[in-house]
Amino acid sequence: MLSKGANGKLAEADVAEAINDWSAVEIVLLQNEIPWETTESVIRGANAGGARALFNPAPAIRIPDELFTNIDTLIVNETEARVITGIPVSDPISAENAANWIIGKGAANVIVTLGEKGSLLLGRQCPVNHVPAFRVKAVDTTAAGDTFIGAYAAAKPREWRQRKR
């Protein structure tokens, strides 16, 4: 259950006031915790301005087909992948099927997180890569996905050091 609070009031105009020059932005990381119209506007604005739009559609929703081409990296767990693609995801093979569906819609890169089974990365410019998870004794998985996504964005893969074209 999501309690929107202040996030539920973030409007497109607020973003436009805060970011009047998208070309100065390198990466935008979004989840479905602000109004959908704002999320969609930010993804499109980031893409048009040359910034990389990283999107984790959580809570899970269907994504309009025309928005995929504006997403640099779509980061989903098994449930989100199923909601978006209709493909049940439970292992690296089904994750690759879902990732291929998403790439086919136009996203540049897809990461499917698989909990203790690791994660899978697929991109238009890179082959599928399954990364096993570290073995840990999980006490509480609250915000595990958020932590993963934040670390990914902060790592700034080498190719991100050059502006998106």
Catalytic residues: 146
Backbone angles phi, psi at 118, to 5 degrees: 95, -145
Write down the H helix ranges in the chain. Answer: 12-18, 36-49, 78-85, 92-105, 144-155
Backbone angles phi, psi at 84, to 5 degrees: -75, -45
Q: What order do you get walking across the sheet with 73-77 strand by strand?
A: 27-31, 52-56, 73-77, 109-113, 119-123, 126-131
